[in-house]
C-alpha cells in the first residue's frame, strides 16, 4: 500500500512538473519547451552569420554605405560612411545592443547610447535582409 502511494506521488509530481514547464523556453543551451519551433535560434543564427551591407543615395545626391554586424551576445556594430556630391566625407562607428522586438522575430530594437532604432518587417533569406529601418526601406546584402 505504501509503495503504491509513493508511486502515485511520484507520477503526480512528474505530471505537475511536465505541465508546469511546457510553456517555458530556455534558449541558452538550445533546449526549448513549448511549441517545438526553433525560430529564435534559426533567425538569430542567420542574423549573426554575416555582415549586412546597404548602399544608397539620398535626394541631395549624398552617397551612404552602411554595415551592420550582429553578435550572438546581443551586441553589434553600426558603421556608416557618407560622402556628399562635393566630396566631403564622414564616417562613424557605433556600438549597440539588440533584441528581438516581437514574438514572430520580424522586428529588432537596436539600443544605442543616445536612443533606439527599430528594424521592422524583417524578411531574411537568400543572403538578403530587407526591412523598414526607422520607417525607411532598407535592403541589406550579406558580405
Question: 2-58: per-residue pLDDT in tens?
Answer: 666 666 566 665 556 555 555 444 444 344 444 445 788 889 999 999 999 999 999
List, as one string, the DSSP characters of the chain. Answer: -HHHHHHHHHHHHHHHHHHHTTT-B--TTS-B-SS---HHHHHHHHHHTSEEEEEEE-TT--EEEEEEEE-TTSEEEEEEEEE-TT--EEEEEEEEEEEE-STTS--EEEEETTEEEEEEEEEEETTEEEEEETTEEEEEEE-
- State residue 31's pLDDT score: 41
Check residue 41 and give its pLDDT: 87
pLDDT per position as a tens digit, 57-93 = 999 999 999 999 999 999 999 999 999 999 999 999 9
Spatial separation of the C-alpha atoms in residues 133 and 107, rounded to whole Å: 10
Looking at residue 40, its pLDDT comes to 85
**Bridge partners (DSSP) listed for residue 131:** 138
Tens digits of residue pLDDT in 97-129: 999 998 889 999 999 999 999 999 999 999 999
pTM of the model: 0.71
What gap in Å lies between CA 88 and CA 74, rounded to an integer?
34
pLDDT at residue 20, rounded to an integer: 55
Amino acid at each position: 500500500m505504501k509503495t503504491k502511494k509513493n508511486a502515485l506521488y511520484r507520477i503526480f509530481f512528474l505530471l505537475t512538473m511536465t505541465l508546469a514547464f511546457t510553456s517555458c523556453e530556455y534558449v541558452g543551451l538550445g533546449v526549448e519547451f513549448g511549441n517545438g519551433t526553433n525560430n529564435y535560434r534559426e533567425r538569430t543564427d542567420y542574423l549573426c552569420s554575416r555582415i549586412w551591407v546597404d548602399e544608397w543615395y539620398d535626394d541631395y545626391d549624398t552617397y551612404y554605405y552602411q554595415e551592420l554586424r550582429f553578435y550572438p551576445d546581443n551586441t553589434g556594430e553600426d558603421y556608416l560612411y557618407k560622402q556628399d556630391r562635393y566630396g566631403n566625407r564622414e564616417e562613424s562607428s557605433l556600438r549597440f545592443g539588440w533584441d528581438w522586438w516581437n514574438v514572430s522575430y520580424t522586428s529588432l530594437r537596436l539600443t544605442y547610447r543616445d536612443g533606439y532604432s527599430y528594424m521592422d518587417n524583417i524578411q531574411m533569406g537568400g543572403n538578403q535582409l530587407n526591412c523598414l529601418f526607422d520607417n525607411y526601406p532598407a535592403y541589406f546584402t550579406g558580405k
